[in-house]
Protein backbone atom coordinates (compact mmCIF):
# COMPACT_ATOMS: atom_id res chain seq x y z
CA UNK A 1 0.00 0.00 0.00
CA UNK A 2 1.46 3.33 -1.05
CA UNK A 3 0.69 6.51 0.74
CA UNK A 4 0.72 9.63 -1.31
CA UNK A 5 1.06 12.46 1.11
CA UNK A 6 0.79 15.74 -0.71
CA UNK A 7 1.50 18.75 1.44
CA UNK A 8 0.36 22.18 0.61
CA UNK A 9 2.63 25.13 1.11
CA UNK A 10 1.01 26.02 4.40
CA UNK A 11 1.65 22.52 5.76
CA UNK A 12 5.36 22.36 4.88
CA UNK A 13 7.97 22.91 7.50
CA UNK A 14 10.02 26.06 7.09
CA UNK A 15 13.32 25.49 5.39
CA UNK A 16 16.58 25.64 7.25
CA UNK A 17 17.51 28.83 5.42
CA UNK A 18 14.37 30.68 6.47
CA UNK A 19 14.83 29.56 10.09
CA UNK A 20 18.43 30.77 9.90
CA UNK A 21 17.39 34.17 8.62
CA UNK A 22 14.80 34.50 11.37
CA UNK A 23 17.28 33.55 14.07
CA UNK A 24 19.91 35.88 12.61
CA UNK A 25 17.40 38.72 12.55
CA UNK A 26 16.47 38.08 16.16
CA UNK A 27 20.12 37.85 17.23
CA UNK A 28 20.78 41.27 15.71
CA UNK A 29 17.50 43.08 16.39
CA UNK A 30 17.44 42.39 20.14
CA UNK A 31 20.84 43.91 21.08
CA UNK A 32 20.51 46.74 18.55
CA UNK A 33 16.99 47.48 19.75
CA UNK A 34 18.06 47.50 23.39
CA UNK A 35 20.99 49.77 22.57
CA UNK A 36 18.79 52.16 20.59
CA UNK A 37 16.26 52.22 23.42
CA UNK A 38 18.98 53.08 25.92
CA UNK A 39 20.28 55.82 23.63
CA UNK A 40 16.80 57.28 23.18
CA UNK A 41 16.04 57.23 26.90
CA UNK A 42 19.42 58.25 28.30
CA UNK A 43 21.65 59.37 25.44
CA UNK A 44 20.62 63.00 25.02
CA UNK A 45 21.96 64.53 28.18
CA UNK A 46 23.64 67.83 28.70
CA UNK A 47 26.17 66.15 30.98
CA UNK A 48 28.26 64.86 28.07
CA UNK A 49 27.59 67.87 25.85
CA UNK A 50 28.85 70.27 28.51
CA UNK A 51 32.11 68.41 29.07
CA UNK A 52 35.22 69.94 27.60
CA UNK A 53 36.48 67.42 25.11
CA UNK A 54 39.96 67.11 23.72
CA UNK A 55 40.23 66.45 19.98
CA UNK A 56 40.46 62.67 20.35
CA UNK A 57 37.11 62.26 22.13
CA UNK A 58 34.32 61.92 19.55
CA UNK A 59 31.05 63.84 19.50
CA UNK A 60 27.93 62.29 20.96
CA UNK A 61 26.46 61.15 17.63
CA UNK A 62 29.64 59.21 16.81
CA UNK A 63 29.61 57.42 20.15
CA UNK A 64 25.97 56.46 19.65
CA UNK A 65 26.55 55.28 16.10
CA UNK A 66 29.48 53.08 17.05
CA UNK A 67 27.62 51.73 20.08
CA UNK A 68 24.81 50.58 17.80
CA UNK A 69 27.39 49.14 15.40
CA UNK A 70 29.03 47.28 18.26
CA UNK A 71 25.67 45.83 19.32
CA UNK A 72 25.12 44.72 15.72
CA UNK A 73 28.52 43.04 15.52
CA UNK A 74 28.16 41.33 18.89
CA UNK A 75 24.73 40.02 17.86
CA UNK A 76 26.15 38.74 14.58
CA UNK A 77 29.06 37.01 16.29
CA UNK A 78 26.74 35.48 18.91
CA UNK A 79 24.58 34.13 16.10
CA UNK A 80 27.62 32.60 14.41
CA UNK A 81 28.44 30.84 17.67
CA UNK A 82 24.83 29.77 18.17
CA UNK A 83 24.64 28.41 14.59
CA UNK A 84 27.44 25.99 15.42
CA UNK A 85 25.75 24.92 18.68
CA UNK A 86 28.46 26.74 20.57
CA UNK A 87 26.18 27.93 23.35
CA UNK A 88 25.12 24.34 24.01
CA UNK A 89 28.70 23.12 24.14
CA UNK A 90 29.94 26.11 26.15
CA UNK A 91 27.06 27.69 28.08
CA UNK A 92 29.47 30.11 29.75
CA UNK A 93 29.87 31.81 26.35
CA UNK A 94 26.19 32.79 26.50
CA UNK A 95 26.62 34.06 30.06
CA UNK A 96 29.56 36.24 28.99
CA UNK A 97 27.66 37.52 25.95
CA UNK A 98 24.66 38.51 28.06
CA UNK A 99 26.94 40.03 30.71
CA UNK A 100 28.70 42.25 28.18
CA UNK A 101 25.35 43.31 26.76
CA UNK A 102 24.01 44.22 30.19
CA UNK A 103 27.19 46.05 31.18
CA UNK A 104 27.15 48.00 27.92
CA UNK A 105 23.56 49.09 28.45
CA UNK A 106 24.32 50.05 32.05
CA UNK A 107 27.40 52.03 30.96
CA UNK A 108 25.33 54.03 28.47
CA UNK A 109 22.84 54.95 31.16
CA UNK A 110 25.44 55.82 33.79
CA UNK A 111 27.87 57.67 31.53
CA UNK A 112 25.34 59.77 29.66
CA UNK A 113 22.87 60.43 32.47
CA UNK A 114 25.09 60.94 35.52
CA UNK A 115 28.33 61.72 33.74
CA UNK A 116 31.70 59.98 33.64
CA UNK A 117 31.93 58.57 37.14
CA UNK A 118 33.86 55.78 38.81
CA UNK A 119 30.76 53.59 38.55
CA UNK A 120 30.70 54.14 34.79
CA UNK A 121 34.39 53.27 34.66
CA UNK A 122 33.72 50.06 36.58
CA UNK A 123 30.95 49.15 34.11
CA UNK A 124 33.23 49.91 31.19
CA UNK A 125 36.08 47.83 32.61
CA UNK A 126 33.65 44.99 33.30
CA UNK A 127 32.39 45.13 29.74
CA UNK A 128 35.95 45.18 28.45
CA UNK A 129 36.78 42.01 30.41
CA UNK A 130 33.60 40.20 29.34
CA UNK A 131 34.17 41.09 25.69
CA UNK A 132 37.75 39.81 25.96
CA UNK A 133 36.45 36.53 27.39
CA UNK A 134 33.78 36.39 24.67
CA UNK A 135 36.45 36.88 22.04
CA UNK A 136 38.47 33.95 23.37
CA UNK A 137 35.45 31.67 23.78
CA UNK A 138 33.90 32.60 20.46
CA UNK A 139 37.24 32.08 18.65
CA UNK A 140 37.38 28.48 19.84
CA UNK A 141 33.90 27.84 18.45
CA UNK A 142 33.97 30.00 15.31
CA UNK A 143 37.14 31.94 14.42
CA UNK A 144 35.22 34.50 12.37
CA UNK A 145 32.95 35.27 15.33
CA UNK A 146 36.03 35.73 17.51
CA UNK A 147 37.53 38.16 15.00
CA UNK A 148 34.30 40.17 14.86
CA UNK A 149 34.30 40.46 18.65
CA UNK A 150 37.83 41.86 18.52
CA UNK A 151 36.46 44.92 16.70
CA UNK A 152 34.04 45.44 19.58
CA UNK A 153 36.91 44.99 22.01
CA UNK A 154 38.81 47.85 20.38
CA UNK A 155 35.82 50.19 20.61
CA UNK A 156 35.08 49.27 24.21
CA UNK A 157 38.74 49.81 25.08
CA UNK A 158 38.51 53.27 23.56
CA UNK A 159 35.34 54.09 25.52
CA UNK A 160 37.06 52.88 28.67
CA UNK A 161 39.93 55.27 28.00
CA UNK A 162 37.43 58.12 27.48
CA UNK A 163 35.76 57.31 30.78
CA UNK A 164 39.15 57.02 32.48
CA UNK A 165 40.21 60.40 31.10
CA UNK A 166 37.23 62.10 32.71
CA UNK A 167 37.48 60.22 36.01
CA UNK A 168 41.12 61.14 36.45
Name which residue leads in pLDDT, 43 or 79: 79
Nearest to 81 by CA among 153, 157, 15, 23: 23
Name which residue leads in pLDDT, 22 or 49: 22
Reported pTM: 0.84
Distances (CA, A) of 11 to 5, 40, 121: 11, 42, 53
Q: Which domain range does residue 92 map to?
A: 22-167
Residue 17 within any structural domain of the chain: no
- pLDDT score recorded for residue 19: 75
The band of 115, judged by pLDDT with boundaries at 50, 70 and 90, is confident
- pLDDT score recorded for residue 50: 78
How far is 17 from 136, CA to CA, in rounded Å?
Answer: 28
Residue 4 within any structural domain of the chain: no
Distances (CA, A) of 68 to 9, 33, 75, 85: 38, 9, 11, 26
- pLDDT score recorded for residue 15: 57
Q: Where are the alpha helices (DSSP H) in 84-142?
A: 86-89, 91-109, 118-141
- pLDDT score recorded for residue 114: 81
Q: What's the structural domain count of the chain? A: 1
- Is the pLDDT reported for residue 8 higher than 60? no
- pLDDT score recorded for residue 12: 54
Per-residue pLDDT tens over the stretch 14-27: 555 567 888 899 99
7 φ/ψ angles, rounded to the nearest 5 degrees: -105, 140
Residue 89 within any structural domain of the chain: yes
Range among 42-51, 59-68, 108-117 rated most confident: 59-68
Of all residues in the chain, what percent carry a pLDDT higher than 90? Answer: 65
Residue 13 within any structural domain of the chain: no
- Is the pLDDT reported for residue 5 higher than 70? no
**Residue range 99-109: mean pLDDT, rounded:** 93
Distances (CA, A) of 35 to 104, 126, 142: 8, 17, 25
Amino acid sequence: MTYNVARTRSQKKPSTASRGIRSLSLAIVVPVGLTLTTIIWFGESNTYKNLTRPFWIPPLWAIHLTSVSTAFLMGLSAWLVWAESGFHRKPMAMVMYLAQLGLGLAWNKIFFKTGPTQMGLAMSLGQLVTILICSQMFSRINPIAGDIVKLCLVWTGFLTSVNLYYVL
